[in-house]
Structure 1
Amino acid sequence: MVGDKSVRISILGGTGPEGRGLAVRLAMAGNAVCLGSRDESRAIDVAIDLSSSVGIHVIGLDNPSAAKDGDVIFVTVPYQAQSDLLSSIKDDLEGKIIVNVIAPMEFVKGVGARALDVKAGSAAEECREIACNSKIVSAFQNVSAEDLENPDLVLDEDVIICSDDSDAKKIVMELVESIDNLRPVDGGALSNSKYVEQITPLLVNINRIYKIHAGIKIVGI
């Protein structure tokens, strides 16, 4: 499946930093990638820009069309937009793999980034509650969007992947492996996504203090 252009990856909220970064790396790995956005013209413009600047092929559609078009759907919108977006397109997501990349957080003056409490437990579990007939996988929350979007930068970090669907998890782990120097780490059940998501605001604060783009690496495996 990985690198098979007959299988389309759609990235909802794909014109934001995380969406653009994932589009670059997944397309560089040989996957067919579609950017989704609230504004289709914006998605088309970003797709053209990435295609010309990086030398990849990416297309742009509005979010509903991208959801229909894709086989594997990445959700990279801000947490506050997740519920409305998924509720509006959940019928088009039935049976598909949804990769939830969201890390709910807020920024507090004098504190920095802080994790938000989510009633469902995590953004990924909330995604499952809404798109209940889809296969939900949590991944990529801890990888710098800016680093992903820079095709000349050598990545060297791990991606923790959580899901209750073993087949969907395997496919996403293969997608991670297709990106040079990223290593997938099986994080167990989808409920563990809470802990992975909450690492992200910590990394944001570390990056702000040290002026870097830190990621994570699990040693001993």
Structure 2
Amino acid sequence: MADIAIIGGTGPEGRGLALRWAMAGHHLILGSRDEVRARDAANSLKLIKPGIHVSGHTNRAAIEKSDCVVFSIPYEGLDQAVSDFEDCLSGKLVISVIAPMDFRSGYPKALTVAEGSAAELIQARVPGCIVTSGFQNLSAQDLLKPDTEINGDIIICGDDLESKKFTMELADCIAGLRGVDGGYLGNSKTVEGLTALILYINKQTKSRSTIKLL
């Protein structure tokens, strides 16, 4: 089982993924700028599912204690966060679950990223880490319900085959989900962009659908 740090671990998506991966036996470390907030978030997950292994630390401590690092923060803060922790990210697997979006118009709109995608931005800033991407299209609300099965496919992109395989296994260990090889890291742009479309459709249909390949 892996030690997985989630940067942005106190947000709904981060907590939801932490809950599901902890239920599968992984050790989860929630990272936050505020260590007390991180510990409170970890304790809240233990109340939902007693017995799981979840702890809370500062972002830097979480990264240092982990085998792999998941970035689950708003895109606007990604560049600064990666720069702040570049020294301790090198050599680690970094998983981006970020979908760059703008909500100012009242509906989600995919943002253009100079590097191509949020995942590629991380790789460009920290060449010494291995980056994969996935999990952008999941409902945090469903993830936080431990008995809810989420039927969908998680498209995983990355240039390193072993790291991509591990990330796909993280999808497979969540009931109802299947990890799908989405090719090289550059394809992250397409998957990230789909998130805005899915959110718009879900809002119109009052649903929480995700991607399912038939």
TM-score normalised per structure 1: 0.94
- Per-residue Cα deviation, 1:62-119 (whole angstroms, up to 9, x for no partner): 1111111111110001001111111111111111100000000011335x10000000
- Say whether 1:21 aligns with 2:6: no
Corresponding residue pairs, total: 213
Pick from 200, 210, 215 the counterpart of residue 210 of structure 2: 215
Using the TM superposition, give the Cα deviation of residue 210 of structure 1 relative to its aligned residue in structure 2, in angstroms.
1.1
State the alpha-carbon separation in 1 of the partners of residues 58 and 212 from structure 2.
35
Which residue does the alignment assign to 2:134?
A: 139
Which residue does the alignment assign to 1:70?
A: 66
SS of 2:135's equivalent in the other structure is coil
State the alpha-carbon separation in 2 of the partners of residues 152 and 209 from structure 1.
26
Pick from 105, 121, 143 the counterpart of residue 116 of structure 2: 121
Using the TM superposition, give the Cα deviation of residue 148 of structure 1 relative to its aligned residue in structure 2, in angstroms.
1.0
Question: What percentage of residue pairs aligned between the two structures are identical?
Answer: 46
Pick from 170, 182, 194 the counterpart of residue 199 of structure 1: 194
- Say whether 1:97 aligns with 2:93: yes
SS of 2:85's equivalent in the other structure is helix
TM-score normalised per structure 2: 0.97
Give the partner amino acid of 1:161.
I
Structural RMSD (CA):
0.9
- Say whether 1:45 aligns with 2:40: yes
- Per-residue Cα deviation, 1:110-144 (whole angstroms, up to 9, x for no partner): 5x100000000000000101121000000100111
Pick from 24, 27, 30 the counterpart of residue 32 of structure 1: 27
Using the TM superposition, give the Cα deviation of residue 54 of structure 1 relative to its aligned residue in structure 2, in angstroms.
2.0
Using the TM superposition, give the Cα deviation of residue 180 of structure 1 relative to its aligned residue in structure 2, in angstroms.
1.5
State the alpha-carbon separation in 1 of the partners of residues 140 and 48 from structure 2.
17
In structure 1, the gaps of 5 or more residues are none
Contact residue 152 and residue 176 of structure 2 kept, 8 A: yes
Give the partner amino acid of 1:70.
S
State the alpha-carbon separation in 2 of the partners of residues 175 and 198 from structure 1.
22
In structure 2, the gaps of 5 or more residues are none
State the alpha-carbon separation in 2 of the partners of residues 154 and 171 from structure 1.
21
